[in-house]
């Protein structure tokens, strides 16, 4: 019987998940739990968020922390709609990328719940890239370290501002805040709206929530 690398990673993720789950939650009793909602009903697919992210976080050309994936057109002109899907780090409570990292470069900040990378510790083995079920990691061509969305932890957030994507969205389709605060907008939206998350069955507990667009998508 042969064990593929994928099987190995899945198995190791499950082991890590079982061990990490109670620890993670005990660590954030008093901390924040930053969470994002992408309202696909409000998103117009302008990709201003992608540009803002690149600029604020100095993301080199050729790689990106954030992509807005546009669906194929639904319908025929002029009655055409599209759906837009945000592809970026989900800031899992049980992040497989952290579990597989051999050098401790990938970590989950217990004070904020943000999953981040310490580029000085990263050895560029790319295990995290293989392990991430959301396929949002890449090797930064400048630093040669793994990188991905950090909710602007080291840039905008450190300056007391909202993440660049949230700031730049013209339709307020991105809502960001502390899920541990029941009065925060993000908590209110999640409590009162029908949201969904992707690949929850893997036990990753992602913290990027989505409000689904109507069937057939949006018209700008």
Partner 1 sequence: MNKRIYFSSIAFLATVLRIALAVLALSWVSSQAAAAGQTIDPENCIGCHEETPVLGVHSGTLFGATNRVATCADCHGWVTDLGQHETDGADMVRFDSAAAVLEPLTLTPLSLGVSTIATQNQTCLQCHSGKTLGALHWTHDAHGFELACSTCHQLHPKNDPVRGLSNASTIKLCVDCHSAQTRNGEGVRP
Residue 55 vs 111, nearer CB to partner 1: 55
- Name the H helices within 86-133: 96-100, 127-131
Measure CA 107 to chain center: 14
Residue 43 beta carbon to partner 1: minimum distance, rounded to whole angstroms:
8
- Answer yes or no: are the C-beta atoms of 211 and 38 closer than 8 Å: yes
Measure CA 36 to chain center: 8
Where along the sequence are the contacts to partner 1 (CB under 8 A)? Answer: 41-42, 44-48, 51, 70, 73, 76-82, 168, 170-172, 214, 218-220
Residue 28 vs 39, nearer CB to partner 1: 39
DSSP state of 129: H
- Answer yes or no: are the C-beta atoms of 97 and 132 closer than 8 Å: yes
Residue 47 vs 64, nearer CB to partner 1: 47
Q: In the numeric block, which tokens belong to residue 215?
A: 């069937």
Residue 70 beta carbon to partner 1: minimum distance, rounded to whole angstroms:
7
Residue 50 beta carbon to partner 1: minimum distance, rounded to whole angstroms:
9
Residue 135 vs 192, nearer CB to partner 1: 192
């Amino acid at each position: 019987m042969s064990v593929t690398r994928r099987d190995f990673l899945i198995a190791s993720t499950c082991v890590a998940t079982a061990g990490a789950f109670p620890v993670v939650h005990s660590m954030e009793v008093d901390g924040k739990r930053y969470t994002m909602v992408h309202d696909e009903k409000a998103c117009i697919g302008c990709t201003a968020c992608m540009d803002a992210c690149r600029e604020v976080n100095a993301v080199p050309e050729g790689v990106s922390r954030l992509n807005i994936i546009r669906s194929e057109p639904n319908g025929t002109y002029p009655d055409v709609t599209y759906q837009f899907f945000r592809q970026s780090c989900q800031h899992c409570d049980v992040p497989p990328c952290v579990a597989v990292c051999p050098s401790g470069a990938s970590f989950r900040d217990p004070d904020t719940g943000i999953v981040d990378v310490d580029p000085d510790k990263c050895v560029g083995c790319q295990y995290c890239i293989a392990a991430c079920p959301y396929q949002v990691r890449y090797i930064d061509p400048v630093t040669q370290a793994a990188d991905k969305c950090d909710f602007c932890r080291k840039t905008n957030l450190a300056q007391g501002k909202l993440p660049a994507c949230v700031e730049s969205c013209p339709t307020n389709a991105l809502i960001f805040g502390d899920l541990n605060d029941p009065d925060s907008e993000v908590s209110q939206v999640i409590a009162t709206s029908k949201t969904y998350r992707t690949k929850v069955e893997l036990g990753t507990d992602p913290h990027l929530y989505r409000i689904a667009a109507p069937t057939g998508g949006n018209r700008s």
